[in-house]
Structure formats: structure tokens, C-alpha cells
Amino acid sequence: MPASVIVGLQWGDEGKGKTTDFLAEQVSTVVRYQGGDNAGHTIVIGDDTFKLHLVPSGVLYGHITPIIGPGVVVNPATLIREFDGLISRGIDISKVRVSHAAHLILPHHVALDKARESALAGDKVGTTQRGIGPAYADKAFRTGLRTGDLLKPDLFAEKLTKRIKENNAVIKELGEKPLSPKEVVDECLAAGQILAPFITNTVVFLHGALAAKNSNMLFEGAQGTFLDIDHGTYPYVTSSNTTSGGACTGSGVPPNRIDHVMGVLKAYTTRVGEGPFPTEDAD
């Protein structure tokens, strides 16, 4: 089956969501493979405007299975708000699938993100302060919690309590108010009950879809090439691989199954956050 990747060729905001929506009628699966709710795709259909941050753009089509892959970091509260917003507007979300291996953005990640940016003062990186970087950092530290952990409430509560207590020391040192472990755990367990029906092994699903006849797959990139953690304008970048290679690592689909890569750009350049433009002196 044909599998195509859509990537932004600048710093994001190139119109990837619109491009995905334009091509969505021809595919059966749309996959988000990196980033978190720091990415926003705006889609206009008639008089309706939809702003999506975690749910793949294909959710607006009934024949599409939208996939949130293991390379995405998921804020449960954000995802539930998106679900509620879509449901209130008559959009069916029952086909959405969330990888059991996708790491969670938790309240202490958001608190750390905000505290660290504030402490940097004039040297800010320009993060969206949504906890993306700290969540990916925990993933690299091998201390992160994943969506699949939500399916084991007792073990999840134990692990999260430990993580909050550890991070509260840093949060307090940065001059912010420590979090209540019990309040955070209760909030996350409640979110887990709502999200449980959507959590699955998406790699198995995608390989099944690759084997199916008359089936097309679209990978929806977030942010843009110049924000790639390895190939972008470091340190003024995001915390994931926004280039086409990220589609493979963030979904579990091998590169030899990718048929096309489409880059989206606009005639002028904008960027969110801090960092120099190509014509500016980085120093």
C-alpha cells in the first residue's frame, strides 16, 4: 500500500494540516508520529474551523483511522479536551488509536517547563511551556510513564507518586510551588479511565494496515524541519525529530515502506518562540 509523509520545510505553520486534510479523502490511516500538543493544525471546512493539537487531522473523515504513534508525547488532559470538543461538534472519535508506548506529559513536566523558562530570563529557548521537553527528557532518562501504564492504575499511581516527589525538589528550587502527589495521581487516573478504550499497540495495527489491499497511509508531521532536535537551529528547537526520518522511528513503520515524502513550505518565513532567522547573527 502507498505510504506518504508530510513534513514542514521551515519552522512550522506552513499549512501541513491543510495539506493533510486535502489528501485525507484518499487514505485510510493518518498517523501523528512526533511532537505533542505544542503543535497545532488548523483545518477549515466550510464555515467550520477545527484546531487540532494531538488528534491527527484525518479524524474529520469517518473512513479514516487516526493514529497517535509511540513517538508522540501525550498530555491526557489535552487529549480529553480535544475529544470533548470534537464530540460536541458531531465528530466521531471512536476510531482514534493511541499507542500504548507513547510517553505521557504529566503536570510536573508542565511545571518544570514553565519554571525553567522563567529562570532563563533573557536566554529563553522559547518553548510553549506545555511540558514537551521535560517529557522527552524523562523518556531519554528511562524514567517516563507511558499511556499503557494508565491501564495498570495501582502501579501507575506508585510510579507517578515517586516521580512527583523527585521533581518537586527541582520545582521548589526553581522558586515554584510543589505539586500535590495525591491530586495529580487522582487527576491522571481519572483521565486514564476515559482514555483506556483508545490505547493499543499501534505498531501492530499499522503493520496490519500495510499488508491490507486498497489501503493508503499518511504520516502527519508536526512543527518543521528547522525545529528538528538533531538537524534544526539548536538549541532553539523542539524535542523530537521533525524531519521525514522521524516518521519511521515515531511510528514503527520501516523506511522501505515509505513511498513518498512531501514537503510543505510558504513564500515567507515565520517562527514561534526564540532563535535567529537565517539572515540574522546567531551570536
Catalytic residues: 13, 41
- Buried/exposed code over 182-193 (b: 16+ C-beta within 10 A; e: otherwise): eebbeebbebbe
Strands 41-45 and 48-52: antiparallel
Residue 21: how many other CB atoms lie within 10 Å: 23
For CA atoms 30, 34, 36, 37, the dihedral sign is negative
Phi, psi of 235 (to 5 degrees): -90, 5
Closest CA to 77 of 168, 194, 220, 159: 194
Distance CA 141, CA 188 (A): 21
In the block, residue with C-alpha cell 513518498? 260
In the block, residue with C-alpha cell 495521581? 185
